[in-house]
Amino acid sequence: MIEDLSELVGRHPLFAGLPADVSVLVAGCAHNAAFGPNELVLAEGGHAEEFYLLRRGRVTLEVHAPGRGPLAIDTLGPGSVLGLSWLFPPYRWSFDARSLEPVGAISVDATCLRDKAEADPAFGFALMKRLGAVLLERLEATRIRLLDVYGDARPT
Amino acid sequence: MPHRVVERRVEAEGIVTVVLEPVSGEPVVWRPGQFAMLTAFGVGEAAISVSGVPGERGLRHTIRDVGAVSHALCSAEVGSVVGVRGAFGTSWGVEELGARDVVVVAGGIGVVPLRGALWSLATRAPGHGVLAVALGARSPDQVIFRDDIDGWREAGAEVELTVDVADAGWTGSVGLVTAALSRLSFDEQDTVALVCGPEVMMRIVARALVDRGVAADRVRLSLERNMQCGIGLCGHCQLGPLVVCRDGPVLLYSRVAALLAERER
C-alpha cells in the first residue's frame, strides 16, 4: 500500500502530535528520497536547499581533515532530522553527510517550507519550537561529549 | 581469601580482565551486578565489579588501570596471588525479570558489571521480550567485550554501539549513548532498564528513559561511590540515607534520583 506523504510526515517525530493540516502543509513541500550505502547526501559548503526527515537507515555527519580523511562527528538514525543549516542564512551546509546503509527519507524543500512559515506565523512558531528542541538536544549531547565522561574513572 | 590469577586478558589499553580461583577453599558465590573487594598485597584494596557470566570459570573481574591498586591488579600476572573479600552488594536481579522487555544502557567501563546480566538475558528461554542494548565508549579502541557484543547480537539482542570520538577507520555510530538509546525499540510500559556508567551519564540516561515512559521504579542504576569496607560499616560510600556498598550498588532510580546531586563525602 502506498502511504500518503502527509501521513508519513505526521508520523515523523519532528511533526508527530501536530494537527493534520500541518502535515499536509509540510507534505506540499516534500517528496520521498532514497540513498544507497556510502552516498554523499549533503556536502559541506553546499547550498542548503532541502533537508531530510530520516525514516530508515543511518547517516553520519563528517568533516574532512587534511591527512586524516573523513572524521565522523555524529550519527543520525530513523526519526532524526538531517540538515538544520537551511533555517538560517547563509543557508550553507556545515558538514558532509554520508549514508552508512540504505536510507529512506522524506526530502523537504527548504525555501518552500520557510515561505510557508513566514506566511503562517502560527505554523512557523510550531515549526521553530520543534526544531529548537532538536537543536537543544544536539547542543546538550555535544556538551556532555565534551566532558569526556568515560575518561574520569576514580583512581583506586 | 587468597586467590590465584589463572587467566589474564588485555581488553583495551588500560583495561584488563583477570580470572581468579581460590588458593584453597570454596569459590566465591556471586550474582551479576555485585562487586568484590580485591587486595593487591602491599598496595591496597579496592571495590571491583564482577564481570563474569554465571557458569564461567573462576571469579572474573575487568579492571581499569587508573590508580595504584588498580594498576597493581591490572599488572598481576598469571600465577600471582591477590586477596578477595565478597562478593558484596545488590545484583541486577535478572532472575526476577521473567520474559519482559529489558533495555540495557552502559557507558565506558560500565558494561563490566552488566556482562553477566546481558548473557543471562540474551539466553533466556524462548518467547521472552526484547533485549535492547545501548553501549557507549569514548573511542573505538576503548570498546571492550567485542566478542560478547557479537554474541548478544547473534542471540537476538538489538545492540546499538556508539563512540564519542571516532577514528578514521570507524564505520559505526558516533554520538552520545542517549542517541543510541533513542534508536532502540522496546515496550516502554513494560520494560525494565539496567544502567551503568559514569554518574553524569546515568542521570541523563535515566531521565531520558523516564521521559520516554519507563517508570522510575523500573530503572535500575549501578552506583559507584567511595567503597572502602564493603559491608556498610565505615560510611565512606554514604549517599543520603543509603550506604552504597550495602544497599547498592544496584539501586532503583526512583529511590536515588534526588540523591544523585549529593556530593561524595
What is the CATH classification number for the domain harbouring A99?
2.60.120.10
On whether residue A14 sits in a domain, the answer given is yes
Cα dihedral B78, B80, B81, B86 sign: negative
Closest CA relative to residue A130, chosen from A60, A80, A88: A80
Q: Is the pLDDT of residue B262 over 80?
A: no
Domain that residue A58 falls in: 5-150
- Estimate the crossing angle of helix A121-146 against helix A110-119, to 10 degrees: 120
Which residues in A have their CB inside 8 Å of a CB on B? 58, 60-61, 68-75, 77-79, 100, 141, 144-145, 147-156
Q: Is the pLDDT of residue B210 over 80?
A: yes
Which residues in B have their CB inside 8 Å of a CB on A? 44, 46-48, 64, 66-70, 107-109, 136-138, 142, 162, 164-166, 168, 170-176, 178-179, 182-183, 197-198, 200-201, 204, 224, 226
DSSP strands (E only) in chain B: 2-12, 15-22, 35-40, 44-49, 59-64, 81-88, 101-107, 131-137, 158-163, 173-174, 191-196, 219-222, 238-239, 242-243, 250-252
Q: For the beta carbon of residue A102, count every other beta carbon within 10 angstroms.
A: 13
On whether residue A156 sits in a domain, the answer given is no
Contact in structure between B65 and B71 (CB atoms under 8 Å)? yes
Looking at this protein, which amino acid is placed at residue B177? Answer: V
pLDDT digits (tens, 9 = 90+) for B103-114: 999 999 999 999
DSSP assignment letter at B262: P
On whether residue A132 sits in a domain, the answer given is yes
Nearest to B70 among A141, A150, A156 (CB): A156
C-alpha B168/C-alpha A66 separation (Å) is: 12
Average pLDDT over residues B24-34: 92
**Helices and strands, counts by H and E, chain A:** 4, 8
Closest CA relative to residue B156, chosen from B193, B186, B190, B129: B129
Lowest-pLDDT range of A72-81, A106-115, B220-229 = B220-229
φ and ψ at B188, to 5 degrees? Answer: -60, -30
The Cα of B21 is separated from the nearest Cα of chain A by a number of Å equal to 22
Sheet order of strands, B81-88 included:
B44-49, B35-40, B81-88, B2-12, B15-22, B59-64
* Contact yes or no for B179 and A151 at CB 8 A: no
Could you give the number of structural domains in chain A?
1
* Contact yes or no for B173 and A149 at CB 8 A: no
% of chain B at pLDDT higher than 70: 98
Q: Is the pLDDT of residue A156 over 50?
A: no
Q: Is the pLDDT of residue A152 over 80?
A: no
On whether residue A155 sits in a domain, the answer given is no
Looking at this protein, which amino acid is placed at residue A125? Answer: F
Q: Is the pLDDT of residue B221 over 80?
A: yes
* Contact yes or no for A75 and B182 at CB 8 A: no
Question: Most distant CA pair in chain B: distance in Å?
Answer: 51
Residues in CB range of A130: below 8 A, 6 or more apart: A14, A15, A18
Report CA B115 to chain centroid distance, whole Å.
7
C-alpha count within 13 angstroms, C-beta hemisphere, residue A49: 2
Q: Is the pLDDT of residue A1 over 70?
A: no
The Cα of A116 is separated from the nearest Cα of chain B by a number of Å equal to 30
The Cα of B119 is separated from the nearest Cα of chain A by a number of Å equal to 23
Average pLDDT over residues B10-31: 94
Average pLDDT over residues B212-233: 88
Give me the DSSP letters along B58-71: SEEEEEE--SHHHH
DSSP assignment letter at B140: G
Chain A residues near residue B170 by CB distance under 8 angstroms: 72
On whether residue A70 sits in a domain, the answer given is yes
Of the two residues B3 and B230, the one the predictor is more confident about is B3
Q: What is the predicted pLDDT for the residue at B225?
A: 80
Cα Rg for chain A, rounded, in angstroms?
17
β-strands B101-107, B191-196: how paired? parallel
Average pLDDT over residues B174-187: 92
Q: What is the predicted pLDDT for the residue at A155?
A: 43
On whether residue A52 sits in a domain, the answer given is yes
3-state secondary structure of A83: coil
β-strands B2-12, B15-22: how paired? antiparallel
On whether residue A87 sits in a domain, the answer given is yes
On whether residue A46 sits in a domain, the answer given is yes
Of the two residues B23 and B224, the one the predictor is more confident about is B23
C-alpha B151/C-alpha A126 separation (Å) is: 45
Mean of the per-residue pLDDT values of chain B: 92
Closest CA relative to residue B175, chosen from A143, A109, A129, A46: A143
Q: Which residue of A has its CA nearest to B226?
A: A154
Q: For the beta carbon of residue B14, count every other beta carbon within 10 angstroms.
A: 16
Average pLDDT over residues B153-174: 91
Is the bond into B87 cis (omega within 30 degrees of 0)?
yes
